[in-house]
Amino acid sequence: MDGSPLARLVIVLIFLGLLGLPVIALTREKPSAPVAAPSPEAASAREQKVDLVVTLSHPGRVEIRQANQVVAVSDALVSVLEKEITLPDTRAELTVTFHWADGVSPHAGRVVVSQDGETWADQTFWGDAEAQDVLSVQGPKQP
């Protein structure tokens, strides 16, 4: 091969550099697409206002929690508790706690969650002085 050694070295380096480009492109860590955190607007769009109706067999106290936050509570002994509550989504879990102090046994408490007249969840819980369980709200029935 004719020409100066320096020119040959430059040509070889350029050649090697060109060969290396695809390797660099293949092995370079691609920046992962940023995952957008759900915006407050999107979160509130999923929120659902629903009607909660709790009926007790005997007057007692009721507390309803969602994700460990109180969403409905009776201040005194009640037979019926009605309240509009907000769920984070169409599906949610409500922790229901009843307290009775009248010595009667067994007691029952019924919890109904509905929206625009359509029932999303309806369950009766039984207990003596206390009853605690989870009501699973599944949202509107699929057609």
Minimal distance, residue 125 CB to other proteins, in Å: 10
Minimal distance, residue 114 CB to other proteins, in Å: 20
Beta strands in the chain (DSSP E): 48-66, 69-73, 78-87, 92-99, 107-115, 118-127, 130-137
Instruction: Give the residues lining the site for other proteins (CB under 8 A).
Output: 32, 35, 65, 67-68, 88-89, 91-95, 132-134
Decide: helix, strand or coil at residue 113.
Answer: strand
Query: How many CB atoms lie under 10 A from the CB of residue 72?
Result: 19
CB closer to other proteins, 58 vs 91? 91
Is-contact 132 118, C-beta < 8 A?
no
Minimal distance, residue 39 CB to other proteins, in Å: 14
CB closer to other proteins, 51 vs 93? 93
CB closer to other proteins, 20 vs 88? 88
